[in-house]
C-alpha cells in the first residue's frame, strides 16, 4: 500500500522554525510563456551514490511524456474514432541517469540551476529514490540529494506550476513535511509525492 500526498500553496511564507532555511526573498513572477511543457528527470543507475539501482524509472518518466504529448482519440460508433481536443504539451527537458542532476532542483543561492531547469517547465517530474529527508540523484556534484532547504523559496517564481515526485517517503519528513516542503513552493501550485514506500513501477503513464 502506498499513500500519495499533495501540497497546494499560493506562497510558501509560513510562520515556523527557520532553522536551515534562508530569508524569504521577493517574489518575481511573470516568466510564464503561456504554453504547456513537461520536464522529466529519472535515475536508474545509483552506483555512484551507493543506493540500489532501479529498473522502472525510465519507463515511468517517459510514460508520462508519451501520455501528455500524445493525441487523444475516442470511439464514436458507428462513425469511427474522433480526435478529442486535449491541451498540447511539449517535452523540452528529458534528463536521465548521468544527465539528471540534483543541481537542476536547487535554488540559485546555493549555486543551483533550478531557474534554468525545473522552473522553465510547467510540470517537473522526478522518478527515483526518495526518503523522509529528500530525493536522490545518481550523479554526484554537490551531493546526491535534494532537501527542502535546498529548494526553499525557489520553485515556481518563473514558469513552474506543478511538481510530482515519483519516489518513496519524501512527504514523510519527520520534522513536518507540509511545513518544510511548502516553503519550496514559491509560485508552484501543486506538489505531489509519497508519504509511504512506493514500488519500482511505471507510474507516470497512469498519472498522465
Question: What share of the chain has pLDDT > 70, as a percent?
Answer: 74
C-alpha cell at 170: 519524501
Is pLDDT at 10 greater than 60 in this prediction? no
**Residue 143: what pLDDT?**
80
Give the model's pLDDT for residue 139: 73
Q: Rounded mean pLDDT of 161-184?
A: 84
Contact at 8 Å (CB) between 84 and 73? yes
Predicted pLDDT at 12: 39
Poorest-pLDDT segment among 50-64, 112-126, 173-187: 173-187
Tell whether the model's pLDDT for residue 23 goes beyond 50.
Answer: yes
Whether pLDDT at 105 is above 80: yes
Asked if 22 and 7 count as a contact pair (C-beta separation under 8 A), the reply is no
Q: 115 is written with which cell numbers?
A: 531557474
Count the Cβ atoms, other than its own, within 10 Å of residue 98. Answer: 12
What does the DSSP assignment read for 3-69? -EEEEE-S-----S--TT-PPPPPP------SSEEEEEEE----TTTT----SSHHHHHHHHHHHHH
User: Phi-psi category of 49—alpha, beta or left, where left has phi over 0 and alpha has psi -120 to 50?
Assistant: alpha
Amino acid at each position: 500500500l502506498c499513500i500519495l500526498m499533495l501540497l497546494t500553496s499560493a506562497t510558501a511564507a509560513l510562520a515556523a522554525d527557520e532553522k536551515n532555511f534562508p530569508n524569504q526573498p521577493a517574489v518575481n513572477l511573470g516568466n510564464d510563456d503561456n504554453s504547456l511543457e513537461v520536464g522529466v528527470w529519472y535515475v536508474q543507475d545509483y552506483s555512484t551514490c551507493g543506493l540500489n539501482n532501479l529498473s522502472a524509472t525510465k519507463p515511468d518518466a517517459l510514460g508520462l511524456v508519451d501520455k501528455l504529448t500524445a493525441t487523444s482519440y475516442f470511439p464514436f460508433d458507428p462513425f469511427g474514432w474522433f480526435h478529442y481536443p486535449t491541451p498540447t504539451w511539449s517535452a523540452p527537458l528529458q534528463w536521465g541517469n548521468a544527465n539528471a542532476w540534483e543541481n537542476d532542483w536547487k535554488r540559485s543561492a546555493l549555486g543551483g540551476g533550478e531557474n534554468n531547469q525545473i522552473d522553465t517547465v510547467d510540470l517537473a517530474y522526478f522518478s527515483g529514490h526518495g526518503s523522509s529527508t529528500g530525493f536522490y540523484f545518481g550523479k554526484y556534484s554537490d551531493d546526491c540529494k535534494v532537501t527542502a532547504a535546498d529548494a526553499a523559496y525557489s520553485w515556481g517564481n518563473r514558469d513552474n506550476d506543478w511538481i510530482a515526485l515519483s519516489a518513496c517517503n519524501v512527504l514523510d519528513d519527520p520534522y513536518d513535511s507540509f511545513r518544510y516542503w511548502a516553503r519550496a513552493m514559491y509560485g508552484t501550485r501543486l506538489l505531489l509525492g509519497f508519504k509511504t514506500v512506493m514500488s519500482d513501477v511505471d507510474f507516470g503513464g497512469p498519472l498522465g
